């Protein structure tokens, strides 16, 4: 079952009663959601108060809590420490013990998938795809020649134009991209924890101050999907901004129908299959990462 994504953008008091999450404003209950139905909760307003009981209930049911900064952009993600899987300690030890050749092999596959999705995004919007066509095939183990950066440099210019600069500190289109990427990051982190893996132990990303290195690795091929939505918004708005409408469009990506093998399912569900696939690939070099495919007819 697809879990619900709740975005609370106004001052509110969030607490629980009888396995229900209650959202109150000015002493009146304005929303009630079964805890077991929650997947991701985004807390935007700085005056939102959430009870400890609500936080724990969300964690026990696998719901991710996303806290936003003063610009109402996702800033941090709260995940359960060890309840994601009954074999958490065993799996964590195996994850930490993964050797460098395996990490480099998997990162090579992730970069290949990302460049392929960038190519597909350009194709969908009838942009020039030739500069990216050969790059995916040339990615070596560990992406030792940094084809990811080479592809990004070409990709943004081809998609958004010569004047665009991808900079998370600039407003407009970049703000929409920041929001979309943060939501995808939370979704991937949720799936990682649910599979018993630890999100801080990455394959390529390894910043000691980053608690979601593995999520940052696995989410890379999903970034171009956010770009598709943002590009469409930018075609309709002279000055693209984050508002209820554009956030709703980006949040819909989590329930976007995707294809994984012969099956069709929401992206949030497909992420759990992806992390299970990753665990297999850790120990069997014959297993390749199988990312879901965008269903264009429903995009």
The tens digit of pLDDT for each residue in 46-65 reads 899 999 999 999 988 888 89
Q: Which residues contact 103 (CB under 8 A, 6 or more apart)?
A: 142, 203, 204
CATH 1.20.120.920 in the chain, residue ranges: 88-298
CA distance 44 to 47: 9
Alpha-carbon distances of 11 from 50, 52, 66, 78, rounded to whole Å: 11, 17, 16, 20
3-state secondary structure of 269: helix
- Residues of the chain with pLDDT > 90: what percent? 57
Instruction: Tell me what the mean pLDDT of segment 190-198 comes to.
Output: 85
Instruction: Tell me what the mean pLDDT of segment 93-116 comes to.
Output: 92
CA distance 186 to 249: 16
Which of 85 and 266 is assigned the larger pLDDT?
Answer: 266
How much is the pLDDT for 1? 57
The answer to whether residue 297 scores a pLDDT higher than 60 is no
The answer to whether residue 135 scores a pLDDT higher than 70 is yes
CATH code for the part of the protein at 88-298: 1.20.120.920
Instruction: Tell me what the mean pLDDT of segment 269-297 comes to.
Output: 89
Which of 94 and 263 is assigned the larger pLDDT?
Answer: 263
Q: Are 25 and 10 contacting, i.e. CB atoms less than 8 angstroms apart?
A: yes
Q: Could you read off the pLDDT of 209-268 as tens digits, one per residue?
A: 677 899 999 999 999 999 999 999 999 988 888 888 999 999 999 989 999 988 999 999
How much is the pLDDT for 240? 85
CATH H-level superfamily of 4-78? CRISPR-associated endonuclease Cas1, N-terminal domain (3.100.10.20)
Q: Which residues contact 19 (CB under 8 A, 6 or more apart)?
A: 34, 35, 36, 57
How much is the pLDDT for 298? 42
Q: Which residues contact 102 (CB under 8 A, 6 or more apart)?
A: 281, 282, 285
Starting from the edge strand earliest in sequence, which strands make up the sheet with 263-266, in order?
Answer: 263-266, 257-260, 293-294
The answer to whether residue 89 scores a pLDDT higher than 90 is no
Instruction: Tell me what the mean pLDDT of segment 182-187 comes to.
Output: 92
Neighbour tally for 207: CB within 10 Å:
11
Q: Could you read off the pLDDT of 122-131 as tens digits, one per residue?
A: 999 999 999 8
CATH 3.100.10.20 in the chain, residue ranges: 4-78
Whole-prediction pTM: 0.84
Residue 78 confidence class, pLDDT cut points 50, 70, 90: confident
How much is the pLDDT for 83? 55
Span of 13-22, 176-185, 188-197 with lowest mean pLDDT: 188-197
């Amino acid at each position: 079952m697809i879990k619900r994504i709740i975005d609370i953008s106004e001052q509110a008091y969030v607490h629980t009663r009888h396995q229900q999450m209650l959202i109150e404003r000015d002493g009146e209950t304005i929303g009630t959601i079964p805890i077991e139905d929650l997947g991701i909760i985004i807390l935007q307003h700085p005056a939102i108060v959430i009870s400890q009981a609500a936080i724990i209930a969300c964690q026990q049911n696998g719901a991710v809590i996303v806290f936003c900064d003063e610009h109402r952009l996702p800033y941090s993600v709260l995940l359960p420490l060890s309840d994601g899987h009954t074999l958490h300690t065993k799996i964590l030890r195996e994850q930490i013990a993964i050797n460098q050749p395996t990490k480099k092999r998997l990162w090579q596959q992730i970069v290949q998938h990302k460049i392929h999705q960038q190519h597909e995004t350009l194709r969908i919007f009838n942009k020039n795809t030739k500069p990216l066509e050969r790059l995916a095939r040339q990615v070596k183990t560990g992406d030792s020649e940094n084809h990811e950066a080479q592809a990004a440099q070409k990709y943004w210019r081809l998609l958004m134009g010569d004047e665009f600069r991808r900079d998370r500190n600039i407003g407009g289109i970049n703000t929409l991209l920041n929001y979309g990427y943060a939501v995808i990051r939370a979704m991937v982190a949720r799936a990682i924890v649910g599979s018993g893996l630890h999100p801080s132990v990455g394959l390529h990303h390894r910043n000691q101050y980053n608690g979601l290195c593995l999520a940052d690795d696995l989410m890379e091929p999903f970034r171009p999907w956010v770009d598709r939505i943002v590009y469409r918004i930018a075609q309709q708005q002279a000055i693209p901004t984050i508002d209820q409408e554009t956030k709703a469009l980006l949040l819909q990506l989590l329930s976007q129908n995707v294809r994984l093998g012969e099956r069709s399912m929401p992206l949030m569900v497909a992420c759990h299959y992806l992390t299970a696939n990753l665990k297999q690939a850790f120990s069997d070099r014959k297993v390749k990462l199988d990312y879901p495919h965008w269903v264009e007819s429903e995009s």
